[in-house]
Amino acid sequence: MPSSAAGSHRSARASRFPRWRPWLMGGLGVVLALLWVPAAALPLPPSAPPFGAVASNPPPENAADFKPDVIYQVVIDRFFDGDPSNNDPVGDTGMYSADHSNWHAYWGGDLVGLTQKLPYIAGMGVTALWISPVVDNVHSPLFYNGSPLPNAGYHGYWARDDYQIDSHFGTWADFDRLVQTAHQMGIKLIIDFAANHSNPNGGGDGGNLYQDGKLVANYNDDIAGWFHHNGGIFNFDDLYSDEYENLFDLADLAQENPQVDAYLKGAITRFLQHGVDGIRFDAVKHMPGGWLTTVNDMIQAEGPHYLVGEWPSSGIADPLHTSQLRFANTSGMALLDFSMNAAIDNVFATGDSMVELDGTQQHINQDFLWPLDQPLFIDNHDNPRFLNKRMSHDLLNDALAFTLTAPGIPIIYYGTEQYLFDNTNGGNDPYNRPMMASFSTTTPAYQLISALGHLRHQNPALAYGSLRSLVLGQDVYIYERQFGNNVVLVAMNRSLNKALSLASLATNLPTGRYSDALGGRFGGGDLLVNRDGSTPGMTMQPSEVAVWQFTAAEPSTPLLGSVGPEQTHPGDALILDGEGFGNVATGGRVEIGSSVATVKSWSAHSITVQVPPIQGGLYTLRVCPFAEPCSNRLVARVASGPQVPVTFRVTGLPDLAPADQVYLTGDTPELGNETGMKELAIGPLIGPILDHTSKFLLVSVPACQTLTYHFFVVHHDGTQTVEAGPEHMMVVPCTGESSVTALWQA
């Protein structure tokens, strides 16, 4: 948001989940913690070396599949100053605070400094890096509430020119060096991109927008209609207000304008050309979902990438929960998991029951088509840090252990591993963005992240596995992640002063004796598993966290763990990841529904295919080696073809009650295939609160097609009124953007 071990029968493999040699990885040998024996008689290995040594991470071979990854989020300006010469650059001066006394100014962090610190980041097992926006921000400072101190776009969310790198951060050459170095170290790169707005319209650069240094849009002389001029957001629970009014004082871009559409997609394309692996889209709640769907379609046509959006939500009670889920399940973008973030905060910082974690996960599994793609996080750049709410390193360690082992993709906010925080103003923005003060590799949090970060790449249960609760109570949570025969068992006692006595567990770990993957540094010890899968009773000490794992041999039956991207169209590349696929020599087929895709590459753990010319819809996929049986099934959504944005508007509506809603449907899957069900149709349509006669919505539809469509009203009592007369018709352009207006047929 803008500012104002391994099993003894396992064969080594160079793959998505490479197997590291024990004791050669500076303490990461503890993740090879299983000593499998038929009887629990063998001794444990000698003490493990220290955590935190730099590891050779696996290469980012599949940028669409981030499930095995740990993402590290960095606010570039507050990380490390590697090039002091750009702190107050020529042409963009007067917004640098050398003594860091002005929290709203630049402090010197840059791309060169971030590149220099990549070994530190890699040492945590991090294999994806999310950086704050690097585009050129406002050149003129803003002064708020009479303050004499300048406010600058150090955070990156006040874009002035989306085609240039901000001179405080470096150059395109510096950016390329970061991408190349990260890739060499097995780290993917995610850029943050704010497509909702330009910059504040009340000062500074006045909302104006540039392209490669040339003015293209003037907010106060907006002849071409690049911006909305509807005032600030009146109601954050109303999608029209969210999407067509200004977020705070930020100049709201009109994505329905073909020039704006081309400008933003062109800027995104430039970053793709510079090798980024994913994009985090700021404020997706405040942009038309149909337009963002066409952005996803454009990006994935260039090759599979991971896309994630920011849609703050209070969970199932949120008034826009249904709209949020519709977006997540149809746009091709994952969403930052604010529901689980709230649960983590409630449980570990506030003291609510651990039961909330399990209940929230159940809702996520039920609501999202691809729950494992939703990222988990504790801290971020918009909210006070965990330690501002609860000053307990032990509880933060517990929260980190959960985030790194629960379903979803973990995000670590920079400095959390150093227990970084500032209590000024409760740690609210901008005090949740202090300068990185230490790069120690010996803090307990760094060691914990290091062990579990590398374990995510060793054991696919953490990337692709299901979750089963074994023990759940006020202070205790013991759960198991499983993918095939790969198992990770996690146990934690959140209490700071009470030990807990537990009865025998019924685990899916094979018979044997297991050492704690955290090396006992958080209180865990050995775990014995009997031949019947039971364990002896145990006592968990206060703040104890333990992780035991079994990494199975290559399965004889293929296991499908990931399909990406989840939304694609015919002709695009689709990547399937998992285990037991065989090799190029054995080969096989990939089924998308009843169709067989063209195989581009095939290995034991990753297959790339080309989507065949099939009709749009939600399809099940499976891998079938020639030596069957076939794998389990996952789903992906196939569009009818390349997508373009079209604004559909209906006028002359009948009298609508405040709770009545208007929907659109038509003869293509993107329009719901002529359905009369509001759950499958497009909508509800939106409009200004005082306009009861017309509604509209920007929708993603297949290019170069002739569509028929109609509207219907769902009344507050559940009854429907459907348009009379013939279907409306339109010809969708092959490129660009369009709009169409239809008169309601009574």
* In the predicted structure, residue 246 carries a pLDDT above the cut 60: yes
Categorize the per-residue pLDDT at 315 as very low, low, confident or very high, splitting at 50, 70 and 90: confident
pLDDT in the model for residue 509:
98
| Active-site entry in 310, 373, 566, 670 | 310
Specify the DSSP class assigned to residue 369: S
Instruction: Tell me the average pLDDT across 440-458.
Output: 97
Percent of the chain with pLDDT over 90: 87
Burial class (CB in 10 A: 0-12, 13-18, 19+), 275: middle
For this structure, is 245 an active site residue?
no
CA distance 394 to 401: 11
Length of the chain, in residues? 746
Categorize the per-residue pLDDT at 27 as very low, low, confident or very high, splitting at 50, 70 and 90: very low
Percent of the chain with pLDDT over 70: 92
Categorize the per-residue pLDDT at 33 as very low, low, confident or very high, splitting at 50, 70 and 90: very low
Contacts of 317 (CB under 8 A, 6+ apart): none
Contact 647, 740 (CB under 8 A): yes
pLDDT in the model for residue 59:
40
Summarised one tens digit per residue, pLDDT across range 206-220 is 999 999 999 999 999
Categorize the per-residue pLDDT at 551 as very low, low, confident or very high, splitting at 50, 70 and 90: very high
pLDDT in the model for residue 741:
98
pLDDT in the model for residue 63:
67
Contact 482, 466 (CB under 8 A): yes
pLDDT in the model for residue 690:
81
Instruction: Tell me the average pLDDT across 166-185.
Output: 97
Rg of the chain, C-alpha, whole Å: 26
Looking at per-residue confidence, does 8 or 268 come out higher?
268
Categorize the per-residue pLDDT at 3 as very low, low, confident or very high, splitting at 50, 70 and 90: low
For this structure, is 737 an active site residue?
no
| Active-site entry in 92, 282, 345, 577 | 282
Contact 285, 230 (CB under 8 A): no
Summarised one tens digit per residue, pLDDT across range 602-658 is 999 999 999 999 999 999 999 999 877 999 999 999 999 999 999 999 999 998 988
* In the predicted structure, residue 397 carries a pLDDT above the cut 60: yes
Biggest CA pair distance of the chain? 82
Q: Which strand ranges, in their side-by-side order, compose the sheet holding 188-193?
A: 334-335, 306-309, 278-281, 188-193, 128-131, 71-74, 409-413, 375-377
CA distance 619 to 605: 21
CA distance 440 to 452: 18
CA distance 380 to 411: 9
- Average confidence score pLDDT of the chain: 91
